Chain A
Amino acid sequence: MFWIHKYGFTNLSYKALYSFQSIRLFILFRIVDPVMHYFFYATLVSAMIGSDYLSFVVIGNIASYTCHTIMINFMTMFRFERRYGTLELNIASPTPTLWIIIRKAVVPLLDGMFVFAIGLLIGWVIFGVALPLNQIGNVFVLFVVTLFSILSFSLLFACLSLLFSNVNLFLNLALAIFQVFCGVNFSVTLLPSGLEFFARILPLTHSIEALRSIYGIESFAIYPLLGKELLIGFCYLIVSLLFVSVMEKAARKRGALLKSI
């Protein structure tokens, strides 16, 4: 169902709604921009506490940048959808709204997959953070689990965003909160206990710890962490499911199907 063919849903969604349509843009925004992002935090950390800590931060940012990519582009698709006035047409079709949203997520997921792989490569080539080759299987499992939890969270976020006319501030704030609280640049154990609890119900936090453990930078047991990440993902998924059905009913009652831009 998700296979890409010329007139397939995924390909058409990409062509209709995605920002990066040329190879040049793709190279600039999918290779150059992440490199800059990693450099930014690597430089900050080196300047502050020295280069010993570099690999810790680079690994954290590879995961976080992947998450950014998926979330931003997922939201952007919906923003375009509203700007074009096509969202109503999609929702009025016999395909359930949630299913439409999930199928549209395939595009940013593929994009995220690319960014993640390139990120690991950049980490290795530029920052010398080498992937232990015997751990490739674990990386793959981690990747699938993380994508699932980020997607579930994005679903909830996308549903919520349909209620507001401008979601950019929320999106920027959410991404910033991820950058601070998911243990991207420093371990969440440094946070005060209340905030650490908050950090541990966000997606990504456990994945980042697991990824660092795979690289041998931290020494947690990998599978329990991934189990928690999976559980968190499920919780967000269930909340989004409930939310979509409530929202569809509310929209019919209130009049405006969804707030348009």
Chain B
Amino acid sequence: MNIIYLLVREIKYFTNFQNKMYQFLLFFQPLIFLTIVYFLQQLRGDVNTDRFVVASALISMWSYVLYSSGSSLVSQRWNDTLKLIIAAPMSLFQVIISKAFSNSIIALITMVLSFIYAKFIFGFSIHIENYYLFYLSVLVLIFSLCVVGLILAIVFASFQNVFDYQNLIHTPIILICGVFIPVDQLPAVIEYIAYGIPMTWGIKAVYEAIDLNTMMYTSMIVSIFVSFIYLFLAVFIIRKMEMVLRQHGKWGAM
């Protein structure tokens, strides 16, 4: 139960809509992307805009998770609140996962906004055959984003020099996870890498759910499976991290 309270508090207290970067990612980025899509589709009449409305949402969701979850542990270290968290009875894993989860839920805002912008500002018609299946696929995507956020939080906190390259991770992930072009059309090496990322499957599931592709259940199950593998990995690493932290009394490299 505790973890649920923690999650609610996390969303209530730590979601910082004052942060200008987050404002930009959540509210403006979809608008800008959709504007570009709007004018590009005028160049060719028969563009299926559904995919790009969803792409707009995915890009902003991913950006938000990258910058919020990614820096969630690092920023605790800057604020020197990390040792308070370690000292609390709640395990470090619970704390981080609740942060990652709350950030993925917040990222949903931008998905909703993308649809609203698309419908009411740009007049795109959106064809979703079965809304329940679409919601289901979005839930699967949220789970995969949450796990990715968790992994990023750990990696960034452990390797300061990786955190410096945060911006460099942003675009490649969009490109290889199949946001624009289906993963199976990518070069083989990249395709294999992409299938190792939980989000790839979540994104695939969402696209397939829009037009009721029969593969969607498989994609959802694989997405959940891959996400769980990372989750268990994360549990293990965080336990280990906690031990190291207690032994050294400070953050070192793992």
Given the interface pairs A173-B28, A176-B28, the reply to whether A190 lies near B172 with Cβ below 8 Å is no
Q: A39 contacts B175, CB within 8 Å?
A: yes
A245 close to B (CB within 8 Å): no
Q: B171 contacts A186, CB within 8 Å?
A: no
Nearest chain-A residue to B34 (Cβ)?
A180
The proximity string for A residues 145-177 relative to B, scoring 1 for CB distances below 8 Å and 0 otherwise, is: 000000000000000000000101100110010
Q: Is the interface of B mostly helix, strand, loop or mixed?
A: helix
Given the interface pairs A44-B180, A48-B52, A49-B47, the reply to whether A180 lies near B42 with Cβ below 8 Å is no
Q: Which chain A residues border B41 with CB–CB below 8 Å?
A: 48-49
Q: B180 contacts A180, CB within 8 Å?
A: no
Which residue of the partner chain, among B28, B42, B44, B165, contacts A190 with CB atoms under 8 Å?
A: B42
* Distance between A254 CB and nearest chain B CB, rounded to angstroms: 24
Residues from 28 to 75 in B contacting A, C-beta threshold 8 Å: 28-29, 32, 35-37, 39-44, 47, 51-52, 55
Q: Sort chain A's interface into a size bin.
A: 20 to 34
The proximity string for B residues 165-182 relative to A, scoring 1 for CB distances below 8 Å and 0 otherwise, is: 101100110110000110
Q: B36 contacts A180, CB within 8 Å?
A: yes
Q: B180 contacts A47, CB within 8 Å?
A: yes
Nearest chain-B residue to A44 (Cβ)?
B180
Q: A179 contacts B20, CB within 8 Å?
A: no
The proximity string for A residues 81-117 relative to B, scoring 1 for CB distances below 8 Å and 0 otherwise, is: 0000000000000000000000000000000000000
* Distance between B161 CB and nearest chain A CB, rounded to angstroms: 9
Q: Which chain B residues border A50 with CB–CB below 8 Å?
A: 44
Among the interface residues A43, A46, A191, which one has the most CB atoms of the partner chain B within 10 A? A43
Given the interface pairs A44-B180, A47-B181, A176-B32, the reply to whether A39 lies near B47 with Cβ below 8 Å is no
* Distance between B198 CB and nearest chain A CB, rounded to angstroms: 21
* Distance between A126 CB and nearest chain B CB, rounded to angstroms: 13
B76 close to A (CB within 8 Å): no
Q: Is the interface of A mostly helix, strand, loop or mixed?
A: helix
Q: B167 contacts A33, CB within 8 Å?
A: yes
B3 close to A (CB within 8 Å): no
Bound CA–CA A36/B44 (angstroms): 25
Q: A36 contacts B175, CB within 8 Å?
A: yes
Q: B32 contacts A29, CB within 8 Å?
A: no
Bound CA–CA A48/B48 (angstroms): 8
Residues from 165 to 217 in A contacting B, C-beta threshold 8 Å: 166, 168-169, 172-173, 176, 179-180, 185-186, 190-191
A37 close to B (CB within 8 Å): yes
Nearest chain-B residue to A39 (Cβ)?
B175
Nearest chain-A residue to B185 (Cβ)?
A47
Q: Which chain B residues border A191 with CB–CB below 8 Å?
A: 39
B236 close to A (CB within 8 Å): no
* Distance between B90 CB and nearest chain A CB, rounded to angstroms: 33
Bound CA–CA A166/B19 (angstroms): 10
Residues from 26 to 65 in A contacting B, C-beta threshold 8 Å: 28-29, 32-33, 36-37, 39-40, 43-50, 53
Which residue of the partner chain, among A32, A47, A186, contacts B43 with CB atoms under 8 Å?
A: A186
Q: Which chain B residues border A40 with CB–CB below 8 Å?
A: 171, 174-175
Q: Which chain B residues border A49 with CB–CB below 8 Å?
A: 40-41, 43-44, 47
Q: B180 contacts A43, CB within 8 Å?
A: yes
Residues from 145 to 168 in B contacting A, C-beta threshold 8 Å: 164-165, 167-168
Bound CA–CA A46/B44 (angstroms): 12
B192 close to A (CB within 8 Å): no
Q: A44-B55, A190-B39 are in contact. List 5 more A-B contacts (CB 8 A).
A: A29-B167, A47-B180, A186-B36, A186-B43, A190-B42
List 8 A-B pairs, Cβ < 8 Å.
Answer: A39-B175, A44-B40, A46-B181, A47-B181, A49-B44, A168-B20, A168-B24, A172-B24
